[in-house]
Amino acid sequence: MTAQPVAPSPGLAVETRGLTKLFRGKAAVDHIDLAVPTGSVYGFLGPNGSGKTTTIRMVLSLVRPSAGDSTLLGRPMPRGAQSVLPRVGSLVEGPAFHPYLSGRRNLERLDAADLTADAATSHARIDAALDRVGLLAAAGKRYRAYSLGMRQRLAIAAALLMPRDLLVLDEPTNGLDPQGTREVRHLVGDLASDGTTVFVSSHLLSEVEQMCTHLGVMSEGRLVAQGPVAEVRGAAAPVAQVRTDQPDDAARVLSGLGLAEIEPFPGGVRANPGGVEREKIVAALVTSGVGVKEFTVTSPSLEDLFVALTGEGFDVSG
C-alpha cells in the first residue's frame, strides 16, 4: 500500500516524516522527522558521516528517499519541486566555479542558466548579491585568486541571485580560517534578520551555538535531539560537584538526599542533584561532618551534551 504524502504543518519551512535512505541495505538516514520553523536559523549537527548531507540532498530532491515524505516551504516534495525550488538557495558540498572567470562573470553564467531569472534585471541582482556578501569591490577579480572565505561568500551570493525564502548551507565554514568563519556567521545572521529561514549543516559547535536559534543533532543516521537551542541544552541534567577529602562520606550524604548518578572523581564526588536545592545539599554535608572545600552546580556544555548523544567528539574550535 502506498503511504500517504506528508500534510504540511503550519509554521514549518522544512518538515520530514520517516525520511530514510538505504545504501546497499544499510540505513544512511534512518526514519528522521525534521521540523525547521519558518524564520529560524536551524543548526543541523553531527559528526562527519552521520547522514547530514544525504538528508539535505533528499530534502532538496537531489536524491530519492528509500522511504518517508518531506515538505519544503509547505509544498510536498518532489511533486512541488518545480514551484518551490526557485524560492530556495543552496550550497551543498562546496562551491563549483570556473577558476579563470571573475566572480561577476561566474555569477552571470549561473544567472543566465536560471530559467526563472529575468535577464533585464541580471546586472542589478548580481550587484546586490555581491554587495550582500561583501564582494562587490572584488567582483572583477578572478575566482582562482579568491581566498577560501571569498569563495564561500561567492557561493552564497550565487544562492541569493533570486529572492529566497529558505537558504540551505551544507558546511558553509568548512576549511575557512577564523576570519572567513566570522564573515559567514555574520552573513547568516544578516539573512535571518531579514526573514530568510536558514538551514545550516555543520560540525563546528562554537559556530552553531553563536548563530542558531534551533538545533537538530544527527548520529549514525538518526535524529537524536531537536528543538530550540535552550530546550536542547536543557535536556542535559545539571551536575553537582563536591570537592572534599572525604568522598565516601560525601557520597553517602548525597545518596541519603536522593541524588542520582553519584560517582567519584579525583578530589571529590559528583552527582545529578535532581530537584534538591543546593543549600540543602551543602547544609547536609556540613551537618554530617564532611569537609567541603568547594561545591558547584553546573549545566553540561553543548559539547558535553553532544558527546553524550552521539558518543563522538566534535570540532568546537571554529
Q: What is the residue extent of each domain of the chain?
A: 12-234, 239-298
Q: Three-state DSSP class for 277? A: coil
User: In the structure, what pLDDT confidence band is assigned to residue 2 with cuts at 50, 70 and 90?
Assistant: very low
Q: What is the pLDDT of residue 138?
A: 94
Q: Three-state DSSP class for 265? A: strand
User: In the structure, what pLDDT confidence band is assigned to residue 318 with cuts at 50, 70 and 90?
Assistant: very low
Residue 199's φ and ψ, nearest 5 degrees, are -110, 110
Question: What grid cell was written down for 25?
Answer: 541495505
Cα–Cα distance measured from residue 280 to residue 295, given in angstroms and rounded to the nearest whole number: 12
In the block, residue with C-alpha cell 555569477: 107
Distant-in-sequence, close-in-space partners of 240: CB < 8 Å, separation ≥ 6: 254, 259, 270, 271, 272, 273, 278, 281, 295, 296, 297
12-234: in CATH 3.40.50.300: yes
93-129: pLDDT as tens digits: 666 799 999 999 999 999 998 888 889 999 999 999 9
Q: What is the pLDDT of residue 19?
A: 94
CATH of domain 239-298: 3.30.70
257-313: pLDDT as tens digits: 998 889 998 999 998 888 888 899 999 999 999 999 999 887 766 666 766 666 655
- Find out whether 104 and 48 touch, Cβ atoms under 8 Å: no
Distant-in-sequence, close-in-space partners of 241: CB < 8 Å, separation ≥ 6: 265, 268, 269, 270, 294, 295, 296, 297, 298
Cα–Cα distance measured from residue 178 to residue 265, given in angstroms and rounded to the nearest whole number: 35
Entry pTM: 0.76
* C-alpha distances in Å from residue 126, one per residue of 89, 92, 159, 163: 14, 20, 11, 12
Q: What is the pLDDT of residue 107?
A: 95
Flag whether pLDDT at 195 surpasses 60: yes
Q: What is the pLDDT of residue 310?
A: 64
216-253: pLDDT as tens digits: 988 889 998 898 987 887 666 778 899 999 999 999 99
